[in-house]
Structure 1
C-alpha cells in the first residue's frame, strides 16, 4: 500500500520540464493492463533466462528437457527492478519535448532484467541478424544466458541502455547526481538496493545534495530505494526499521519519502505521478521526493517447495530452485511459476512482445549531451601558463565541473578572484561522492576534473577499477567517444606528513594493465598545465596527473613537445653526445628536480662518465605494445634507453609497478627504479627523500656505484 502525505506542489522554475505532464499523458494513453503485462513479460524473461533452454512462450507443457542442467544467475532483485522499468517506460515515451529520462541500475545483480528490457525494446543483438525481436533471438536470449563471452549475467555496459556497471557498489546515487548536473532537461532515476543503501558512498550521497545548492541550473534526480528486505546473505539494515522509522530517516535527510509495496498498481502509478509533480531541480534546497518500494525480494517467485521455505529467505537471491530438471517437486514449482505470467499473452508466435506489452515500453531515448569543442593542444600550450589558468579557461567554455574533497584552496588552485567558489566548482569531504559525480558527469558527455590529495585518492581505487571495466566494455560495443576521466593528484606525500604519504592509487591503476590508463608525470608546473589541457580535451582515457602544488624549478621547454606526443623525450642539454655509460630517467617534478641536480653532481665528481638524460611524461608508455596502445615503439625505446646501457630511473610512485611495466618488455636487470618506500616513522621531506634514495646526493652516489660495479 502507499503511504504518502498529500500537499500542493510548489511551481517548477522556468525552463524546468513539467514531468507531471509525462505522467498525465501516460495515464491517459497507457492502460494499467499494459503496465502489468510489461512487468509480467520482464519477470517471465528474467526467470526463463535462469532456467530454460527452450519453450520460452510455454507454447506446450514444460518438459525436463526444456530446463537447464545447471541454472545460474540472480533472480531476487529482478521483480522490483522490473516493476520500476514497466512504470518508467511510458514516462520515457511521453516525456516533455526536449527532455530526457535516464534509468540507472544500482542493483548490479539485475542482469536478467536489463537483458529482458533490452530484448523487449528491440535493441538486443544475439543471432547475427541485427537487433530486434524474433523467435531465434528469444531462444538465444534464454539459452545463452549468462552469455559469458557476450554480455555477462550481471549489469554491464555491454547491455544496451546500461549507463552504470552495477558491480560498482555504492555510488549509483552520486553518479545520478553527476548526470543531472548542468542538465536541466534531464531526469535521472537511480534504482538503489537496500543492501547498497548500507554503503558509505550511498549514505553520504543523500546529504551531498546540499553541497550543490546554488551551483547552477540542474536536472532532477528521483531516487528509488528497492527496500525488498534482504541483501545477499540475510536481512538488510533497512528491513529492521518500521515504516515510521523509514519515513523519519529519509525526512531527516531532507527528502519526502513516498512508500509503496507495489501491490496496488493504479495506486503506485498515482504515487509516481505525485512524485513527478513535486520534482524539483537538484540544486534547490526544497525537499525532494523519493520512492521507497517495499516489494519483497523475489516477489512472484515460488513461496515454498516441499518442506523448504523460499520466499523471505536468502534463497531468492540467486536461483530459488536449484535443480528442477532432476527434482520433481522443483520442476512442478518451476512450471507453475513460469505459467503464472501467462507468457502466451505477452509474446507472439514470432517471439515479439504483444501490442499490450509494447504500449508500456519506452520510446526512443535522446543521447546524452555533447561536449563543447576544446581548443587544440598547440593553442593551449601557448595561452595557459599554469594549472589554475587551464581550469578557469576550460570552465569558461561551459559543460565543465571541478570536484574536490574540500581541497581546492589547499591544493593552491586559484579558480576565482575572491574567496567564494564559482558555481562550477564543488567541494564535499568525501572522495567517493566526488568520483560518483565525476563519473556521472563524464558518462553523459561533459568534461570534469577531480582534484585531491595524493594520500586520499586511493579511497577510490575500487570505484575506478570497476569504472575501468565499465568503460572497457562500453568501448567494445562501439560506444566510445566519452570525455576522459581526469584526476589531478597533488599535495604529494613527498611534501606532507607521515599520515599523508600514500601514492597507492596510480600503482593500482598501472597494475590493472588497462590501456585506457595514463599516469602523467610532468617535470614542472608549465608542463603540468599543458598536460591538463590535453587531458580535458581528450576522450576515452582515464588520466592521472601527478604534480606538486609547491613552486619548483622550470626546465627548458624545447623537449616538451616530444614528451607530450611520445610520452618521453631526451633532454639534450643534460646529455653527452654518443653512446652513454648511463641513462638517467626522471618521471615527475620532484624526481626531475633531484635527478637533474644529481646529473650535475655526477658531471663534477665523475667527468669521465657519459650520461644520457631523459624525462618520462607518461608512465604508461613504458609498457609494451600492443597491450599499452600508446607505448613507446621498440625503435624509440632503444633510441632513448639503449639495449644494454644501465638505467637509473627516479619516479614519484611506488617503484614496483614501473618495474612491472619494464619487465613486460623483457627489461628485468639493467633498470634500477627508485621511488617511494614506506618510512617506519614520521620524518621530514628531506628525510623521506634520503630514506627512499631519491635525494640528489643519494641518486648521484647510486649512479656512480652502478657504473663502478658494471665496469668492475
Structure 2
C-alpha cells in the first residue's frame, strides 16, 4: 500500500511525538541503569550493581505507544495496546509515567523523580512472561467490544483469529509486526528513520480508516465478504536510540545487533570507558530540555499554573479514561453471569449463552460436538467469518484448532470483563506446541503465567476481580479408545501443573456423575480470579446421586466399623470402585485433601478423619499419576495405612 506520508503530521504534532519519544527513551534507559537522575554528572556510584533489563525494542514500543495516543487524541478512539514480550517493560512504564496514569492507581507514583520507583503496570492484560500469544489474547479482548481496537505484536497461528471476529459485534485488531525483516526482505518499508513518524502516523490513520470502513459496512447490513484487514510492518533499528547512543563499542556493533538486546553497556559500573560511553548516550537525549534537576519537566514546558504545555504532552488524551494506561476493560473487569440450568452441562451452557448473549463465550478446538456439548448450538452458532453459514450471526462459539490460541482468547476475554470456558480432550490440554517433538506444554505454561499475574493482581487494591479461567477436560485416559496412546504420552501434567499454582488460585474438580458435574460447572462459572480444571466423561455413566444431593455427596457412610475405606477420584475410577465395596468416599474437589492451611478450602484434620477414619486402611484410586496425590496428602497425619493407585503410562501402543 503506497501512501503519501510527506508532511502528514503538522509541525506541532511532529515536535510533540519526537519530544515524547526522547523523554520516554531517556527514562527507560535510566530505569534499569541508574539509581539517581542523570542530569548531574554520572559516577560509578550512580549505576546499579546488577544491571537487569532489555533495551532492544524500547524505542520502537515507545514510538508505537505515542502514535496510538496521538490517534486517540485525534479521533477519540477506544484502544488497547498489547505488547508481546515483557522484556521492554521499561518503555511502557516510561510512557505511563509521562501520561500520568501511574498516580491514578498508585498515589505515591507521582510524575516526578521519586514517583518512578517500585511501580506496577496498570492496564496490563497480558503478563508477557512467555512469548507467542499477544495476538491471541488481543483477539479475546476485542470480542464483544464493538468500538475497541487492540494494537499488538503477532504470532503465526493466532492470525486465524481474524476469521472469528465479527465486525458487527466486536472491535478490531491492528497487528503491528516489529522487526520482522527475515520474512519481509523484499520491500524497504522505511528508508530513513528520520521520517518514520510521518510514515507511521499516515499508516495508522490509513489502518483506522480501513477498520472503520469494514465495521461500517457490516453494521449497516452490507458486510464486505472476506475483507482485507489492515496490518503494519514496523522496521526500525534494534538498539540504543537509533540516532543517539553507542552505535559501536569495542569494535562491535551495538545498534542493530544482538548486543543491544539486554543492557548495551553491562560494564559501566566498573569500567571508566563504558561509563563515559553511557554518559554520552544519556546526554544525547538532551534531558535538560525535558526535565529539571529533580526529574520534573523544566519550567519552560509548563504554563503559569503548572500544567504541561503541548510540546511534550499534547498527544496524550485529555480524557483520562481514554489513556492506554487507564482503560477500564483492564481493571474493572468482571461482569457476573446470570445462568441457571439443571439438566445437563450442554444445556446449562446453552442457558448461560441465552442469558448472557454479550459476555459469555466458549473457545474450543473442533470437537464441541464430539464432546457432546452441542446443546449450545440450539442457542448459538459458531462464529466463523469465512464460512458461508456463520458470518454476521453473532455466534458465541469459537472453534479453532490451536490450543494456545484458544487459551489466549480465553484469557483476555476473561480479563477484560467477560466469562468463558475452554473445553478440550484431556490429552490436548497437556499437548506440547510441537507434539511430535515433545516440546513445551504451552497451555500449561500459559496457565502458570496467568496465575502469577492474578496472584499479583489480588494484591492491588484498585484492580477489580475478573472471572475465572475454566478448563473442561473430556475424553480421559480411563476410556480405552482411539486416543488412548496420545492421552498416555501427553496429558500427565495438567492437574499437576494446577496443583503447583498458588493455593489461592487453583481448583481441580473430578465430579463422579452428571448431577455432580452440573453442580460443579454452575459453581465454576460464578467465582472470580480462579483457575478451574474440571474433569468429566462424555460417555453415559451411572448417576449415583440426585441433583439435590449432588452438592453434598462427600459424606461418611452409615457404616459404623468398616474394615477398609476405598476412595475413587474421577468419573471412570469411581465407576470401578462402586463395584468393589459398599463403602466409598468420592472426592470431587481435589484440593480438600491437602494438609490444613495449605489451601484455603482444605479439610480440617477433624473433618478429614471423619471421612477417612485414621484407624482404617485407606485405598485411593486416583485419576492421575499417584505421585501428585502423594504430594497433596503430605502433612496429613496417619498416612502409614494409605495406598495410592493410578495410571502409570507405558509409553507404548497396545
TM bucket normalised to smaller: 0.7 to 0.9
SS in 1 for 2:59: helix
Partners of 1:665 and 1:78 in 2: CA distance: 50
Indicate how the Cα distance of structure 1 residues 634 and 668 shifts in structure 2: closer, same or farther if over 3 A, else same.
Answer: closer
Aligned to 2:551: 561
Deviation track 1:465-506 (CA, whole Å, cap 9, x = no partner) reads 111112212222232410100111101122133323234311
Aligned to 1:253: none
SS in 1 for 2:194: coil
Scaled by the length of structure 1, the TM-score of the pair is 0.77
Indicate how the Cα distance of structure 1 residues 419 and 277 shifts in structure 2: closer, same or farther if over 3 A, else same.
Answer: closer
Matches within 5 A, 1:11-30: none
Matches within 5 A, 1:358-507: 358-362=313-317, 363-364=320-321, 365-368=326-329, 372-375=335-338, 380=340, 383-396=341-354, 397-398=356-357, 399-414=359-374, 415-417=376-378, 421=382, 423-459=395-431, 460-478=443-461, 479-495=463-479, 496-497=481-482, 498-501=484-487, 502-507=491-496
Indicate how the Cα distance of structure 1 residues 393 and 638 shifts in structure 2: closer, same or farther if over 3 A, else same.
Answer: same
Q: Paired residues, what number? A: 588
Deviation track 1:177-230 (CA, whole Å, cap 9, x = no partner) reads 1111111121111135xxxxxxxxx211113322x1659611011111111xxx
Question: 1:180–1:218: 8 Å Cα contact kept in structure 2?
Answer: yes
Aligned to 2:613: 642
Partners of 2:402 and 2:458 in 1: CA distance: 29
Partners of 2:379 and 2:295 in 1: CA distance: 63
Matches within 5 A, 1:63-462: 63-96=43-76, 100-124=78-102, 130-138=108-116, 141=117, 158-192=120-154, 202-210=155-163, 212=164, 217-227=169-179, 238-244=180-186, 262-264=193-195, 265-280=197-212, 285-300=226-241, 301-353=245-297, 354=301, 355=308, 356-362=311-317, 363-364=320-321, 365-368=326-329, 372-375=335-338, 380=340, 383-396=341-354, 397-398=356-357, 399-414=359-374, 415-417=376-378, 421=382, 423-459=395-431, 460-462=443-445
Query: 418-427 vs 624-633, which deviates more?
Result: 418-427
> Which residue of the other structure, out of 648, 655, 663, is the alignment partner of 2:626?
655
Partners of 1:634 and 1:666 in 2: CA distance: 8
Partners of 1:91 and 1:438 in 2: CA distance: 28
Indicate how the Cα distance of structure 1 residues 637 and 341 shifts in structure 2: closer, same or farther if over 3 A, else same.
Answer: same
Deviation track 1:345-403 (CA, whole Å, cap 9, x = no partner) reads 22245533453322233433441175554347xxx4xx421110111111112211111
SS in 2 for 1:401: strand
Partners of 1:6 and 1:374 in 2: CA distance: 46
> Which residue of the other structure, out of 532, 545, 552, is the alignment partner of 2:541?
552
Partners of 1:173 and 1:164 in 2: CA distance: 10
Unaligned runs of 5+ in 1: 8-23, 142-146, 152-157, 193-201, 228-237, 247-257, 564-568, 601-610, 684-712
SS in 2 for 1:319: coil
Indicate how the Cα distance of structure 1 residues 298 and 534 shifts in structure 2: closer, same or farther if over 3 A, else same.
Answer: same
Question: 1:261–1:295: 8 Å Cα contact kept in structure 2?
Answer: no
Deviation track 1:319-358 (CA, whole Å, cap 9, x = no partner) reads 1112123222211211111011111222245533453322
Indicate how the Cα distance of structure 1 residues 299 and 131 shifts in structure 2: closer, same or farther if over 3 A, else same.
Answer: closer
Question: 1:127–1:137: 8 Å Cα contact kept in structure 2?
Answer: no
Partners of 2:565 and 2:597 in 1: CA distance: 25
Unaligned runs of 5+ in 2: 219-223, 302-307, 384-394, 432-442
Aligned to 2:435: none
Aligned to 1:45: 27
The answer to whether the aligner puts 1:529 opposite 2:490 as a matched pair is no
Partners of 1:167 and 1:420 in 2: CA distance: 34
Indicate how the Cα distance of structure 1 residues 371 and 466 shifts in structure 2: closer, same or farther if over 3 A, else same.
Answer: closer
Question: 1:262–1:293: 8 Å Cα contact kept in structure 2?
Answer: no
Question: 1:46–1:113: 8 Å Cα contact kept in structure 2?
Answer: yes
Question: 1:260–1:294: 8 Å Cα contact kept in structure 2?
Answer: no
> Which residue of the other structure, out of 521, 527, 534, is the alignment partner of 1:538?
527
SS in 1 for 2:633: helix
Partners of 2:577 and 2:192 in 1: CA distance: 66
Indicate how the Cα distance of structure 1 residues 38 and 384 shifts in structure 2: closer, same or farther if over 3 A, else same.
Answer: same
SS in 2 for 1:455: helix
Question: 1:46–1:78: 8 Å Cα contact kept in structure 2?
Answer: yes
- Deviation (angstroms), 1:125: 6.4
Partners of 1:419 and 1:53 in 2: CA distance: 56
Partners of 2:102 and 2:616 in 1: CA distance: 55
Question: 1:123–1:132: 8 Å Cα contact kept in structure 2?
Answer: no
Indicate how the Cα distance of structure 1 residues 5 and 625 shifts in structure 2: closer, same or farther if over 3 A, else same.
Answer: farther
SS in 2 for 1:598: coil
Q: What is the CA RMSD across the aligned residues, in angstroms?
A: 2.9
